[in-house]
Structure 1
């Protein structure tokens, strides 16, 4: 048997072609999401995931070592797509408030595209081994940190009011949750709002106080 090697996600693979590994794992992730949502993580046999992708069970195990790996890759996929979208928006060279607004819009659009994956993260992260749960939480914190930096940039440019660090962090977490809300409550929201309308409203809502020049404070801060 070929010696397994770790890839950038920390999941080992017997296949040496990184491009092929990424392609096959995305197929595995998309098939697994549908099955996990329909049947639940624990009630979905690994063999059924392989069949849904069109693999033999042996072929599946060339790209992952366990069903836990598959669930982690689902989580990793949503974070990867979010970061790609954010960095794509940031490459437009917009700064200050314009840059922040552009990234919020892209972020919510990615959450819409990956809504099933995102919902699954929250339903099944508890099923992951401790090391994978830690990675998932680290990814969440890292992405939130990108929003913190963008808000700080807008404050430095004078397009947002001066805020304490705790308030900046809370605003960044609010942005993250706003994207999640579109994914989790789409059963209600999509019947009443377009995606563009939702993005426009939530962006105005999040930034309204700062645009008006009010200094945000976290009440009850410790």
Structure 2
């Protein structure tokens, strides 16, 4: 993963180093000193940019996730059918996890260690995704593409399936074909709610 070059070079080096150290040691076992050494800066320099290890991880995950959600929103706007948009959601989510497996593994394995701020933020992003999916399903119902269902529950079922497959990708590796898996998830889901 590459962190945006619009940030100061030192901050970017610290974030890149944090990815390497977190992926090797996990969140709980990683130390700020190790991140500083990996970034070739002093420990105090890390604290000039980030108030704590939790804040560093939060900023790292936030920058990845914000880029993903921005891309998702832009890509969905260019598609018409509910099926195409659901496929885009699945594909981008699974691709994001495949491209950022180290970060995804930490979220899946060590979410209880990550602090209240990150938990609240992750929950808010989950709600944002659920709202996107729920609104998409409501539109599909209005257009007659889907039968009337509780869109909130349907969105939770859909996102749950995507997250579950995403955890497999995070831990099982490269042998999960993204395009085939995306199509399978959407087909299975739509057979349950489609007309």
Q: TM-score, normalised by structure 2?
A: 0.81
Which protein has the bigger helix share?
2
Residue 160 of structure 1 aligns to a residue in which SS?
coil
Contact 1:154 1:160 in 2 (8 A): yes
Contact 2:97 2:170 in 1 (8 A): no
Contact 1:97 1:160 in 2 (8 A): no
Corresponding residue number in structure 2 for 1:62: 48
Corresponding residue number in structure 2 for 1:13: none
Corresponding residue number in structure 2 for 1:195: 178
C-alpha separation between the residues in 2 aligned to 1:183 and 1:29? 23
Do the aligned partners of residues 184 and 111 (structure 1) sit closer, same or farther apart at CA in structure 2, a change above 3 Å counting? closer
Contact 2:141 2:147 in 1 (8 A): yes
Deviation beyond 3 Å, 4+ runs, structure 1: 23-30
Residue 41 of structure 1 aligns to a residue in which SS?
helix
Q: How does 1:58-137 map to 2 (within 5 A)?
A: 58-137=44-123
Corresponding residue number in structure 2 for 1:209: 192
Aligned CA-pair RMSD: 2.6
Deviation at 1:46, TM superposition (A): 0.5
C-alpha separation between the residues in 2 aligned to 1:29 and 1:123? 20
Corresponding residue number in structure 2 for 1:38: 24
**What are structure 1's unaligned runs of at least 5 residues?**
1-17, 214-222
Do the aligned partners of residues 118 and 52 (structure 1) sit closer, same or farther apart at CA in structure 2, a change above 3 Å counting? same
Higher CA-based Rg: 1
Name which of structure 1's ranges 172-181 and 51-60 shifts more when overlaid on structure 2. 172-181
**What are structure 2's unaligned runs of at least 5 residues?**
none
Deviation at 1:110, TM superposition (A): 1.7
- Equivalent in 34, 43, 65 of residue 48 of structure 1: 34
Q: How many residues align?
A: 191
